[in-house]
C-alpha cells in the first residue's frame, strides 16, 4: 500500500482518477457528491475550488481530507496521496479493511482543516485549541511551531489564554488556521473559511492562508463560492458542477504571497484603502 | 505509563473544563445515593449476621452441629423396601480404619468414632494431628463391581488387581493411597481407591472435605451426605432385593472372613455379619455455612422423609430474619444495579450525544474511534469513582444512626458495630465504576463511528 514514488517526476501530493462519492439511503441513491473526479494537486500550490451550492466542492474536500471514503471504491481509478516521498494508496487500504484507521492516521499527521464555522472547542482556551491540532499527530509530524508562536504570528498572542467562545469570528478563524498549522501539515483544507466574516477579517484569514502556503509550504485547498477569492489568493482554480470538474486553470494572483506575509500590512491596506480598491487591482490573467 | 497518565489527564481536561455538565452531576448524584443505600444495606446485613453469630456462639453451637435424623414414624408410612443393614458398612469402616491406621501410623492418624455411616456411602472422621485433632473427613463410596459403575471402576481405575474375588476376599490398599491421604494431599474431591468387602463391593474413597479449613471445602460436605443417604437407600434396597432373589442369604447371615492384602502382607479382619435394620442416622458435621446445612436438612426431609433437627432450630426467628435481611440486601442491590445501570446508560447516552460536535472535531483532527471512546470511558470512570467514594462516605456517616436504630429495634443492648464491610465497599465501588464505564463506552463508540463530516457540515 505504501511504496516509494514511482508515479512520475511531478511533485504531486494528490492524484485522483475516477473517484466518486455517492450518497445512499438504504438501496436508494440520494446524490452524487463527486462523479468520477480526476484531479492532480501539486505540492505547494494554492488551489481554489469554486462552484455553486451542491456542486460537490465540500464533498471533494472531505475526500481530500480523508474524512469520508470514496464510494464506490474506485475499482478502475485510483486515489493516491504522496507525502514525504511515500505514496499512500487509499484504495488499497480500503480493500484491506484498514481504510478507517489509515485515514485517521493520515488526517492526524498531514491534514489541517479550516472550517467555515471554525469548529473550535469553545470551552477551551485559544492556546489549547491550537495545541489540539497536533495532539494526534505522530512525533515526526509535530515539528511545527509552538502554539504561542503561531498565535503571535497571526496577531493572537494576547488572546492565547482566552476561551474561544469569548472571541470574535475573525479571531476564531485565525485560531482555526493556527490549529491547522500546528502540526506542520502537508495540506490545509479550508472549507469556505471566510463565509461568516466581514471584509477585513476575510482578508486577514485569506492572508493567513497565504502565509501557511508561502511560509510553511503547505498545499492549500480553498473551497469557496465567492468568485473573487481565487483571484485574490490562489495559484490555480477549478470550477465544479454536478460533482464534476468543468474548469481547471492556473491563476497569477495580484496580491502575492510575498506581499501579504505580514497580515497587518494587508489589514492596514484594507482599512485604509477599502476592500474594493484592493479588489480592483485583482484580475484574472 | 507517562503516556497513559497524559491521556487520562487530557481526557479529563477535554470535558471537565466544561462548566455545565448537568447530566454528569445528575449521574454522580444517582451513583452516590445508590452506593450509599447499598452500603447501608450491606452494613445492616453484616451487623445482623454478626449479632446472630454472637448469639449462636454464646449457645455453644459454634462450628459443630449434630444432626439427629430420624424417620418420621408419625407419618405412618412404612418403608417401601426392607430396612437397610449397616453391618457391611460397619465392617467396611473398620477395615478402612485398620488400613489407615496401619499405613498412616496409629500415632499420626487416630480414627474418631465413625460418626455416620450407610452402606452406600461412608464418612469417617479422622483426627488430623496438624490440625490439633480437628476432624478431617474421608468419604467412602461403595459401588458394586456387578453394576456398570463398579465395572468401570474395576476396569479403568483398579487395573485388575483390585477387584475382589468372592472366594478370596481381600482388601487392597495401594501404597500410593497412603501418600495421597496424608498431609498436603487431602484435597476435596480427589479420589483414592479401596477394596472394602469380599464379593460385593469395591470402593472409591474420596476426600469429601477438610472441615474447619479456610479453603471453603466445607461446602462440599453436606450436600453429598444427603445425596449419599439417598444413594445408600436405593443401592442397598436394590442389593437386598437382588440377593433375596438369588436366594443367597448366606452372605448376610453367616459371618465370613475377609483377608486384607496390602503391601505384600496379609491379615485377617473380622467377618461380616448380616444385615440389620437401622432407623437413625446420626452425623457430625463441621460447618461454616448455615445455608448449606439448612439446604441439606431440607433435602433430607424432602427425599428421605426424615425429620432433621439442628441446634439452629433454637434460633429460627433470628436466622429467618437474617436470611430475609440478606435476601433483601441482594434484591435491593440487584434492583438498584439494574435501575442505576439503565439510568446511567440513558444519562451517558445523552451526555455523549451532546458531545457529538466535539467528537467530530476530535476526529477531524485525527483521533481514532478508540481514542474517543477511551476518553469518555476515562471520564465516566472518574465520575463513577468520585461519586462512589462520596456514596461510601455518606453510608459511613449514616451507619451510627443505623446502629442505634437496630439496637432499639432488637430491644436489648447488643454489642453491635455497624459498618460497611471492606469487601462489600470495594465490590460496590467496582460494580458502579464498571457500570459507568460500560454505560459510557457503548454510546461513545457508537458516536465515534459516526461520519464527522456530516456533523461538521451542519
- Judged by a CB distance cut-off of 8 A, whether residue B400 touches chain A is no
> What separation in angstroms does the CA of A243 have from each of A58, A268, B277?
10, 39, 99
Of the residues B364, B375, B454, the best mutation for testing chain A's interface (the one with the most A CB atoms within 10 Å of its CB) is B364
pLDDT at A281: 53
Cβ count within 10 A of residue B50: 15
The closest CB to that of A115, out of B14, B451, B456, belongs to B456
Q: A107, B364: Cβ pair inside 8 Å?
A: yes
Average pLDDT, chain B: 56
Residues in B closer than 8 angstroms to A101, CB to CB, are 368
Higher local confidence (pLDDT), A18 or B413: A18
Calculate how close chain A gets to B381, using CA atoms only, in Å. 22
CB A144 within 8 A of CB A181: yes
pLDDT of residue B63 exceeding 50: no
Q: A104, B363: Cβ pair inside 8 Å?
A: yes
DSSP string, B103-170: HH-TTT-EE----EE-SSEEEEEEEEGGGTTEEEEEEEEEE-TTSHHHHHIIIIISTTSSSPPSSS-E
Residue A54 Cα to chain centre, angstroms: 18
Q: B366, A124: Cβ pair inside 8 Å?
A: no
Residues in B closer than 8 angstroms to A56, CB to CB, are none
pLDDT of residue B398 exceeding 90: no
Query: For B222-228, what is the mean pLDDT?
Result: 36
Calculate how close chain A gets to B388, using CA atoms only, in Å. 27
Q: A108, B366: Cβ pair inside 8 Å?
A: yes
pLDDT of residue B377 exceeding 80: yes
CB A77 within 8 A of CB A18: yes
pLDDT at B113: 37
Closest residue of B to A108, CA-based? B366
CA separation for the pair B52, B256 (Å, rounded): 52
Q: What percent of chain B shows pLDDT beyond 90?
A: 3
Cβ count within 10 A of residue A123: 18
Calculate how close chain B gets to A199, using CA atoms only, in Å. 23
Q: B365, A136: Cβ pair inside 8 Å?
A: yes
**How many helices (H) and strands (E) are present in chain A, helices listed first?**
10, 11
- Judged by a CB distance cut-off of 8 A, whether residue A30 touches chain B is no
- Find where cell 484491506 sits: A96
The closest CB to that of B368, out of A58, A101, A121, belongs to A101
pLDDT at B347: 82
- Find where cell 474447619 sits: B212
Residues in B closer than 8 angstroms to A68, CB to CB, are 451, 453
CA separation for the pair B26, B32 (Å, rounded): 10
- Judged by a CB distance cut-off of 8 A, whether residue A231 touches chain B is no
DSSP string, B381-400: HHHHHHHHHHHHHHHHHHHH
Calculate how close chain B gets to A123, using CA atoms only, in Å. 6
Q: What is the dihedral of CA A55, A59, A61, A67, to 10 degrees?
A: 170
The closest CB to that of B366, out of A100, A117, A137, belongs to A137
> Three cell numbers at B181?
491421604
CB B415 within 8 A of CB B326: no
pLDDT at B116: 35
> Three cell numbers at A122?
469553545
Residues in A closer than 8 angstroms to B18, CB to CB, are 123
Best-predicted range by mean pLDDT among B29-33, B280-284, B388-392? B388-392
Instruction: Kindly report which listed range (A16-30, B23-37, B407-421) carries the lowest average pLDDT score.
Output: B407-421
pLDDT tens over chain A, length 285 residues: 444 444 445 688 899 988 888 888 778 887 888 888 899 999 889 899 988 888 888 889 888 988 887 777 766 778 888 887 888 888 888 777 777 788 888 888 889 999 888 888 888 889 989 988 888 887 766 665 678 888 877 777 888 889 888 888 888 988 998 898 888 888 999 998 888 777 767 777 787 787 788 777 889 999 987 776 676 678 898 988 888 998 888 877 655 444 444 444 655 565 566 544 554 554 333
Beta bridge partners of B172: B261
Query: For B411-437, what is the mean pLDDT?
Result: 79
Listed in sequence order, the residues at least 6 apart from A251 whose beta carbon sits closer than 8 Å to its beta carbon are A48, A230, A231, A234, A235, A236, A237, A284, A285
Residue B15: pLDDT band (50, 70, 90) is low
- Judged by a CB distance cut-off of 8 A, whether residue A68 touches chain B is yes
The closest CB to that of A107, out of B14, B357, B366, belongs to B366
In 3D space, the residue among B292, B288, B300, B280 whose CA is nearest the CA of residue B68 turns out to be B280
> What separation in angstroms does the CA of A35 have from each of A57, A60, A91, B451?
11, 10, 16, 20
Q: Please state at what angle helix B369-410 crosses helix B22-59, rounded to 10 degrees.
A: 40
Cβ count within 10 A of residue B71: 17
Instruction: Kindly report which listed range (A228-242, B316-330, B370-384) carries the lowest average pLDDT score.
Output: B316-330
Listed in sequence order, the residues at least 6 apart from A52 whose beta carbon sits closer than 8 Å to its beta carbon are A225, A241
Residues in A closer than 8 angstroms to B10, CB to CB, are 135
CB A64 within 8 A of CB A106: no
Residues in A closer than 8 angstroms to B19, CB to CB, are 123
CB B387 within 8 A of CB B348: no
DSSP annotation of B367: -
Higher local confidence (pLDDT), A157 or B176: A157
Q: A107, B452: Cβ pair inside 8 Å?
A: no
Residues in A closer than 8 angstroms to B371, CB to CB, are 136
In 3D space, the residue among A1, A185, A194, A221 whose CA is nearest the CA of residue A90 turns out to be A1
DSSP string, B222-276: HHHHHHHHHHHHHHHHHHHHHHHHHT--HHHHS-EEEEEEETTEEEEEEEE----
pLDDT at A99: 73
Calculate how close chain A gets to B368, using CA atoms only, in Å. 6
CA separation for the pair B355, A283 (Å, rounded): 45
pLDDT of residue B390 exceeding 90: yes
**How many helices (H) and strands (E) are present in chain B, helices listed first?**
13, 12
Q: B367, A113: Cβ pair inside 8 Å?
A: no
Cβ count within 10 A of residue B43: 25
Of the residues A66, A69, A113, A181, the best mutation for testing chain B's interface (the one with the most B CB atoms within 10 Å of its CB) is A113
Which value does ipTM take for this structure? 0.82
Q: Taking CB atoms and an 8 Å cut-off, how many pairs form between chains A and B?
A: 61
Residue B294: pLDDT band (50, 70, 90) is low
pLDDT at A277: 56
The closest CB to that of B358, out of A68, A121, A133, belongs to A121
pLDDT of residue B48 exceeding 70: yes
- Judged by a CB distance cut-off of 8 A, whether residue B370 touches chain A is no
Q: B366, A113: Cβ pair inside 8 Å?
A: no
Buried b / exposed e over B252-265, threshold 16 CB at 10 Å, is beeebebebbbeee
Q: A67, B364: Cβ pair inside 8 Å?
A: yes
Residues in A closer than 8 angstroms to B366, CB to CB, are 104-105, 107-109, 111, 135-137
Of the residues B3, B7, B21, B366, the best mutation for testing chain A's interface (the one with the most A CB atoms within 10 Å of its CB) is B366
- Judged by a CB distance cut-off of 8 A, whether residue B368 touches chain A is yes
pLDDT at B168: 34
pLDDT at B430: 92
- Find where cell 499405613 sits: B103
pLDDT at A190: 92
A208-232 pLDDT, tens per residue? 787 788 777 889 999 987 776 676 6
pLDDT at A40: 92
Closest residue of B to A58, CA-based? B457
CB A245 within 8 A of CB A59: no
Q: B18, A109: Cβ pair inside 8 Å?
A: no
Helix (H) or strand (E) holding A191: strand A187-191
> Three cell numbers at A120?
473550535
Query: For B120-148, what is the mean pLDDT?
Result: 40
pLDDT of residue B51 exceeding 80: no
In 3D space, the residue among A185, A165, A270, A283 whose CA is nearest the CA of residue A230 turns out to be A283
pLDDT at B443: 85
- Judged by a CB distance cut-off of 8 A, whether residue A111 touches chain B is yes
A177-205 pLDDT, tens per residue? 889 888 888 899 999 888 877 776 777 77
B256-275 pLDDT, tens per residue? 222 222 223 333 333 322 22
Calculate how close chain B gets to A272, using CA atoms only, in Å. 35
Calculate how close chain A gets to B361, using CA atoms only, in Å. 6
Q: B17, A111: Cβ pair inside 8 Å?
A: no
Calculate how close chain A gets to B458, using CA atoms only, in Å. 9
Interface of A with B in 171-190 (CB under 8 A): 179
pLDDT at B353: 78
- Judged by a CB distance cut-off of 8 A, whether residue A86 touches chain B is no
In 3D space, the residue among B236, B213, B290, B270 whose CA is nearest the CA of residue B80 turns out to be B236
Q: A107, B358: Cβ pair inside 8 Å?
A: no
pLDDT at B382: 87
Amino acid at each position: 500500500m505504501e511504496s516509494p514514488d514511482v508515479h512520475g517526476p511531478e511533485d504531486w501530493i494528490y492524484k485522483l482518477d475516477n473517484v466518486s462519492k455517492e450518497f445512499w439511503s438504504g438501496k436508494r441513491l440520494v446524490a452524487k457528491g463527486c462523479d468520477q473526479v480526476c484531479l492532480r494537486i501539486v505540492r505547494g500550490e494554492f488551489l481554489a475550488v469554486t462552484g455553486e451550492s451542491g456542486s460537490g466542492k465540500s464533498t471533494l474536500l472531505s475526500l481530500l481530507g480523508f474524512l469520508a471514503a470514496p464510494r464506490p471504491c474506485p475499482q478502475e481509478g485510483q486515489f493516491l496521496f504522496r507525502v514525504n516521498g511515500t505514496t499512500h494508496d487509499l484504495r488499497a487500504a480500503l480493500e484491506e479493511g484498514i481504510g478507517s484507521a489509515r485515514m485517521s492516521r493520515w488526517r492526524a499527521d498531514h491534514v489541517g482543516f479550516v472550517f467555515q464555522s471554525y469548529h473550535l472547542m469553545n470551552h477551551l482556551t485559544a492556546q489549547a485549541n491550537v495545541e489540539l491540532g497536533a495532539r494526534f499527530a505522530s512525533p515526526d509530524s509535530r515539528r511545527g511551531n509552538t502554539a504561542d508562536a503561531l498565535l503571535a504570528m497571526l496577531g493572537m498572542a494576547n488572546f492565547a489564554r482566552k476561551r474561544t467562545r469569548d472571541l470574535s469570528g475573525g479571531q476564531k478563524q485565525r485560531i482555526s488556521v493556527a490549529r491547522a498549522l500546528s502540526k506542520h501539515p502537508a495540506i490545509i483544507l479550508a472549507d469556505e473559511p471566510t463565509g461568516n466574516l466581514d471584509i477585513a477579517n476575510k482578508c486577514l484569514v485569506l492572508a493567513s492562508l497565504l502565509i501557511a502556503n508561502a511560509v510553511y509550504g503547505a498545499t492549500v485547498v480553498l473551497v469557496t463560492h465567492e468568485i473573487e477569492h481565487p483571484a485574490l489568493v490562489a495559484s490555480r482554480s477549478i470550477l465544479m458542477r454536478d460533482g464534476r470538474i468543468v474548469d481547471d486553470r492556473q491563476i497569477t494572483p495580484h496580491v502575492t504571497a510575498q506581499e501579504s506575509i505580514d497580515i497587518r500590512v494587508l489589514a492596514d491596506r484594507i482599512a485604509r484603502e477599502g476592500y474594493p480598491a484592493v479588489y480592483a487591482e485583482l484580475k484574472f490573467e | 505509563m507517562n503516556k497513559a497518565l497524559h491521556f487520562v489527564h487530557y481526557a479529563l481536561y477535554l470535558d471537565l473544563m466544561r462548566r455545565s455538565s448537568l447530566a454528569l452531576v445528575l449521574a454522580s448524584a444517582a451513583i452516590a445515593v445508590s452506593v450509599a443505600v447499598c452500603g447501608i444495606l450491606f452494613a445492616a446485613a453484616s451487623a445482623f449476621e454478626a449479632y446472630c453469630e454472637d448469639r449462636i456462639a454464646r449457645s455453644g453451637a459454634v462450628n459443630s452441629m449434630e444432626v439427629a435424623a430420624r424417620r418420621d414414624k408419625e407419618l405412618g408410612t412404612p418403608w417401601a423396601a426392607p430396612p437397610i443393614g449397616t453391618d457391611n458398612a460397619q465392617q467396611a469402616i473398620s477395615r478402612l480404619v485398620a488400613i489407615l491406621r496401619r499405613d498412616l501410623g496409629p500415632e499420626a492418624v487416630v480414627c474418631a468414632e465413625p460418626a455416620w455411616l450407610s452402606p452406600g456411602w461412608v464418612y469417617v472422621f479422622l483426627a488430623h494431628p496438624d490440625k490439633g485433632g480437628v476432624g478431617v473427613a474421608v468419604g467412602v463410596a461403595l459401588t458394586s463391581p456387578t453394576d456398570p459403575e463398579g465395572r468401570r471402576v474395576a476396569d479403568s481405575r483398579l487395573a485388575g488387581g483390585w477387584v475382589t474375588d468372592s472366594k478370596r476376599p481381600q482388601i487392597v490398599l495401594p501404597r500410593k493411597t497412603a501418600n495421597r491421604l496424608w498431609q498436603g494431599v487431602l484435597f476435596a474431591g480427589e479420589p483414592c481407591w479401596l477394596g472394602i468387602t469380599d464379593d460385593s463391593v469395591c470402593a472409591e474413597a474420596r476426600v469429601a472435605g477438610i472441615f474447619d479449613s479456610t479453603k471453603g471445602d466445607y461446602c462440599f460436605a453436606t450436600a453429598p451426605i444427603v445425596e449419599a443417604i439417598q444413594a445408600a437407600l436405593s443401592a442397598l434396597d436394590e442389593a437386598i432385593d437382588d440377593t433375596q432373589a438369588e436366594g443367597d442369604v448366606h452372605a448376610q447371615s453367616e459371618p465370613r472372613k475377609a483377608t486384607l492384602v496390602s503391601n505384600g502382607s496379609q491379615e485377617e479382619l473380622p467377618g461380616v455379619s448380616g444385615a440389620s435394620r437401622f432407623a437413625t442416622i446420626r452425623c457430625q458435621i463441621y460447618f461454616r455455612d448455615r445455608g448449606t446445612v439448612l439446604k441439606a436438612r431440607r433435602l433430607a426431609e424432602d427425599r428421605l422423609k426424615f425429620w432433621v433437627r439442628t441446634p439452629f432450630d433454637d434460633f429460627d426467628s433470628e436466622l429467618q430474619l437474617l436470611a430475609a435481611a440478606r435476601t433483601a440486601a441482594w434484591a435491593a442491590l440487584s434492583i438498584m444495579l439494574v435501575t442505576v445501570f439503565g439510568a446511567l446508560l440513558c444519562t451517558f447516552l445523552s451526555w455523549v450525544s451532546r458531545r457529538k460536535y466535539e467528537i467530530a472535531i476530535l476526529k477531524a483532527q485525527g483521533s481514532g474511534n478508540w481514542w474517543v471512546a477511551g476518553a469518555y470511558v476515562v471520564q465516566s470512570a472518574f465520575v463513577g469513582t468520585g461519586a462512589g467514594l462520596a456514596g461510601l462516605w455518606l453510608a459511613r456517616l449514616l451507619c451510627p444512626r443505623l446502629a442505634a436504630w437496630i439496637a432499639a429495634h432488637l430491644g436489648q443492648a447488643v454489642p453491635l458495630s455497624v459498618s460497611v464491610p471492606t469487601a462489600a465497599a470495594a465490590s460496590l465501588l467496582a460494580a458502579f465504576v464498571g457500570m459507568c464505564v460500560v454505560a459510557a463506552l457503548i454510546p461513545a463508540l457508537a458516536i465515534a463511528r459516526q461520519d464527522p463530516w456530516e456533523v461538521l457540515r451542519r
